[in-house]
A = this chain, B = another copy of it.
Amino acid sequence: MEKDYVVGVDIGGQTTKIGIVDRKGNIITQTVIGSKYKSGEAGLFIQAVCDTIRDLAKEVGMENIQGIGIGAPNGNYYHGTIEDAANLEWAKGIRVELAKEVSLALDNLPVTVTNDANAAAVGEMMYGAARGMKNFIMITLGTGVGSGIIINGELVYGHDGFAGELGHTTAVKHNGRPCGCGKKGCLETYCSAMGVARTAGEWLELSDEPSLLREVDNITSKDVFEAAQKGDALALRIFEFTGKKLGESFADFVAFSAPEAIIVFGGLARAGEFIFKPIREAMEANMVSIWKGGKVKLLPSALKESDAAILGASALAW
């Protein structure tokens, strides 16, 4: 029998967001717990998640929960696992049987796991900018660069469940920046929030050009945005460069799956035209003629960032 509510769980490096969601995408109730458990403490973390779900579910009744959707770094849909997640101490170098253990603790409710960007893509398709679309690519610009690919209305998982690692395609082929993944020149090293900060640091070293950023310690992408808003030339060029790199890569992604749209989500997407304009220009310059002229839409996410993670994860459970 179909039930009225699902649980969405978004596991991040620092915190885990958990919410109860109805069929219309309303978050009935939600809360946040910490994710920072140590190596060997996966069981403790899972117990905390399950306790929290039980607690939240009181509001609608556990018997009215259809299932649980979890978005997590390195979440694997086929196995229901988190596999070697570098940003989670308790999941580093090992495979955590997340779906199995959560289900076991919660009356055998069905549990679906996927990576966080995939969850965001599903959320966008059900409640956001991709409503009605069957072919689009979701790009999440956060600490890293993630992606979720929808083809024919379905998430692409690939042969092993790890499809959609577009942040680790090579954006710079020669002398690219070293990436946490072990490769060099990954898109993520240039276009994540960290990447933007890295560009700022490098460029400030390379010249004496005056910039508001010279007064900032430990520059973040937010600092670059604020400087750009004040007309800082260097900050503006950092966004141009970042957008160009993204647009060049997006053009290649278009050649792969010919999506109706590319949807950009996350902190950097809030930089608006500072970043969307160069993305659009670089896409146009690097696409085959059949896609030129704005045929592939470039859209910001239409979900509130704080809700998107829970909504996306919960959507997996329907």
Return the CB mask of A163-178 against B: 1 if under 8 Å, else 0: 1111011101100000
**Minimum CB–CB distance for A232 against chain B, Å:** 27
**Minimum CB–CB distance for A262 against chain B, Å:** 11
Sorting the interface of chain A by its residue count into under 10, 10 to 19, 20 to 34 or 35 or more gives 35 or more
Interface pick from A48-56, A147-155, A190-198, A208-216: A147-155
Residue in chain B with minimal CB distance to A292: B182
- B-chain residues with CB within 8 Å of residue A157 when the two chains form the complex: 258
Quick one: which of B161, B172, B253 contacts A258, CB cutoff 8 A? B161
A290 at the B interface (CB under 8 A): yes
**Minimum CB–CB distance for A279 against chain B, Å:** 15
**Minimum CB–CB distance for A115 against chain B, Å:** 12
Q: Given the interface contacts A170-B248, A170-B251, does A256 sit within 8 Å of B149 by beta carbon?
A: yes
A residues sitting closer than 8 Å to B (CB atoms) are 83, 134-135, 149, 151-152, 154, 156-166, 168-170, 172-173, 181-183, 248, 251-253, 255-260, 286-291, 295
**Minimum CB–CB distance for A159 against chain B, Å:** 4
**Minimum CB–CB distance for A122 against chain B, Å:** 16
The docked-state distance in angstroms from the alpha carbon of A279 to that of B84 is 27
Pairs of residues from A and B, 10 with the lowest C-beta to C-beta distance, nearest first: A158-B258, A163-B258, A159-B260, A169-B252, A135-B159, A165-B255, A168-B288, A162-B258, A181-B288, A169-B255
**Minimum CB–CB distance for A41 against chain B, Å:** 24
Quick one: which of B160, B253, B255, B286 contacts A295, CB cutoff 8 A? B160
Residue in chain B with minimal CB distance to A166: B255
Give how many copies assemble into the complex.
2
- B-chain residues with CB within 8 Å of residue A182 when the two chains form the complex: 288-289
The docked-state distance in angstroms from the alpha carbon of A161 to that of B251 is 16
**Is B181 a contact of A158 with CB atoms below 8 Å?**
no
- B-chain residues with CB within 8 Å of residue A170 when the two chains form the complex: 248, 251-252, 286
- B-chain residues with CB within 8 Å of residue A260 when the two chains form the complex: 159
- B-chain residues with CB within 8 Å of residue A165 when the two chains form the complex: 255, 258, 288
